């Protein structure tokens, strides 16, 4: 099998449609919800209705959250471009419009990707249409998800959850929350499972919403679980603790969501590059693609370097998604895409602010906002440093215990 580095023809209409939505629906309200933190963007309800219509007609493949699934033998299921590739393409275009608004879209939560990756067939059907946030991070647990201390204890037909989760994207607005908790702390990573906790479940409460540097349109919650009782059928996937498998079930979620976050960074950085090129041209600085960078102005040379970095991030994003569609293990590639795009996205948006001077720093343009929004994309779903650690372990063939 070979990957084609061009956007697949069958997804180009979806990509172009997403771009039109970003330009005509998200950009015009971008500043409004940046200044009105925690206010729900009502305009998104109409957009979701449109996506539902696309999905029902069969024309919207990739419009919703996709998952990473592999067949029993791990063999390729054929050379195909599927929903993972379509998702990263459409997400990149939507984030060309606004990252915070994309993260605020109903039924497109990171928890939906967890359900798509880990749930069994019955659960996939039961939770179809839910808007799921994902609760992983805890106050005493930074990037090492294996140290999760939120507990889940089986009591009859229910699990009892206790613990605190922080930085839960869409934690207040979502219909349900996918909560990562341990069945037995002494068994380490293998005992960590994910549970779907529906809104209104007694014992789950939103403690507060965070005030943030960027993505202000998106609500970010602290959630407390105090003897929260959840039906045992809401444990995603198998309840069995397989020590030999380790963290693999839970990590399948990240194999899916990391390319999605890479796509967000790719889209936001592209927005900054497009606007910066226009502003440079208005100032008399023309980027000439037919001349070497050393033979152009410093601003043009910097712009060319940023575009080449951006292209590398985009291709890594596409590769990770394509591998998921073709049932290939993509943990290494997902982390490479997330590491590259997260770093490059932040570097590009801040460099564009710098290149555009007073226009870049003022609220007259969206450049300063994109600089703020992009920073989170290098942090959540595993920080830059964690991604580099994962990549190093995979390449060197070392375990987490051998390389910390």
Query: Could you tell me the CATH number of the domain that includes residue 335?
Result: 1.20.140.10
- Please tell me the predicted confidence (pLDDT) of residue 254: 84
Contact call for residues 270 and 335 (beta carbons, < 8 A): no
Q: Which of 75, 307, 381, 402 is catalytic?
A: 381
pLDDT tier, 1 (very low <50, low <70, confident <90, very high otherwise): low
CA-based radius of gyration for the chain:
21
Contact call for residues 353 and 371 (beta carbons, < 8 A): yes
Of 85, 104, 126, which residue sits at a domain end?
126
Give pLDDT tens digits for 279-289. Answer: 999 999 999 99
In a domain, 242, yes or no: no
- Tell me how far apart the alpha carbons of residues 281 and 369 are, in angstroms, rounded to a whole number: 21
30 shares a domain with 149: no
367 shares a domain with 254: yes
Beta bridge partners, 230, equal: 159
47 burial (CB, 10 Å; 0-12 / 13-18 / 19+) is middle
Beta-carbon count within 10 A of 31 CB: 14
Please provide the DSSP assignment of 193-222 as one string: EEEEEETT-TTEEEEEE---SS-TTS-EEE
pLDDT tier, 74 (very low <50, low <70, confident <90, very high otherwise): very low
Q: Which residues contact 257 (CB under 8 A, 6 or more apart)?
A: 110, 113, 114, 134, 381
Q: How far is CA 107 from CA 49, 52, 335, in A?
A: 11, 10, 25
DSSP 3-state assignment of 291? coil
Give pLDDT tens digits for 126-166. Answer: 999 899 999 999 998 877 777 899 999 999 999 999 999 99
Give the domain extent around 194.
132-234
Contact call for residues 173 and 131 (beta carbons, < 8 A): yes
Q: How far is CA 154 from CA 163, 193, 270, in A?
A: 15, 12, 48
284 shares a domain with 150: no
Phi-psi region of 38 (alpha: psi -120 to 50; beta: other; left: phi over 0): left
Predicted TM-score (pTM) of this structure: 0.92
389 shares a domain with 257: yes
Element (H, E) at 57: helix 43-57
In a domain, 219, yes or no: yes
Of 77, 101, 126, which residue sits at a domain end?
126
**Catalytic residue check, 381:** yes
- Please tell me the predicted confidence (pLDDT) of residue 244: 63
213 shares a domain with 146: yes
Instruction: Pick the range with the lowest mean pLDDT from 49-53, 320-324, 325-329, 356-360.
Output: 49-53
Residue for token digits 């229910």?
Answer: 158
- Tell me how far apart the alpha carbons of residues 56 and 36 are, in angstroms, rounded to a whole number: 33
């Amino acid at each position: 099998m070979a990957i084609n580095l061009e956007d697949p023809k069958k997804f180009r209409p979806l990509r172009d449609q997403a771009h039109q939505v970003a330009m005509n629906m998200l950009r015009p309200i971008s500043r409004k919800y940046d200044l009105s933190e925690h206010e729900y963007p009502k305009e998104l309800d109409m957009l979701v209705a449109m996506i539902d219509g696309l999905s029902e007609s069969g024309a919207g493949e990739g419009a919703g959250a996709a998952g990473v699934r592999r067949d029993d033998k791990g063999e390729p299921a054929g050379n195909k471009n599927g929903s993972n590739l379509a998702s990263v393409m459409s997400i990149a275009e939507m984030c060309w419009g606004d990252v915070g608004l994309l993260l605020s879209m109903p039924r497109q939560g990171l928890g939906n990707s967890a359900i798509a990756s880990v749930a069994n067939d019955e659960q996939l059907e039961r939770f179809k249409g839910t808007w799921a946030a994902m609760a992983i991070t805890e106050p005493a647990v930074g990037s090492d998800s294996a140290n999760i201390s939120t507990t889940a204890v089986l009591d009859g037909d229910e699990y009892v959850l206790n613990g605190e989760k922080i930085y839960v994207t869409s934690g207040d607005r979502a219909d349900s929350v996918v909560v990562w908790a341990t069945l037995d702390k002494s068994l380490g990573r293998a005992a960590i499972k994910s549970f779907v906790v529906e809104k209104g479940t007694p014992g789950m409460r939103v403690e507060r919403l965070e005030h943030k540097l960027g993505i202000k349109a998106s609500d970010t919650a602290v959630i407390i679980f105090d003897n929260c009782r959840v039906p045992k059928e809401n444990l995603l996937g198998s309840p069995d603790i397989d020590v030999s498998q380790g963290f693999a079930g839970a990590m399948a979620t990240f194999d899916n969501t990391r390319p999605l976050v890479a796509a967000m960074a790719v889209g936001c950085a592209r927005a900054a590059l497009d606007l910066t090129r226009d502003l440079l041209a208005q100032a008399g600085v023309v980027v000439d693609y037919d001349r070497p960078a050393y033979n152009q102005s410093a601003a043009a040379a910097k712009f060319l370097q940023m575009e080449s970095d951006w292209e590398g991030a985009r291709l890594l994003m596409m590769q990770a998604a394509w591998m998921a569609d073709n049932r290939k293990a993509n943990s290494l590639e997902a982390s490479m895409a997330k590491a590259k795009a997260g770093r490059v996205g932040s570097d590009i948006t801040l460099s564009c602010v710098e290149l555009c001077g007073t226009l870049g720093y003022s609220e007259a343009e969206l450049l300063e906002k994109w600089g703020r929004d992009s920073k989170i994309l290098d942090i959540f779903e595993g920080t830059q440093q964690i991604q580099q650690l994962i990549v190093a372990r995979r390449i060197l063939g070392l375990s987490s215990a051998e390389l910390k």
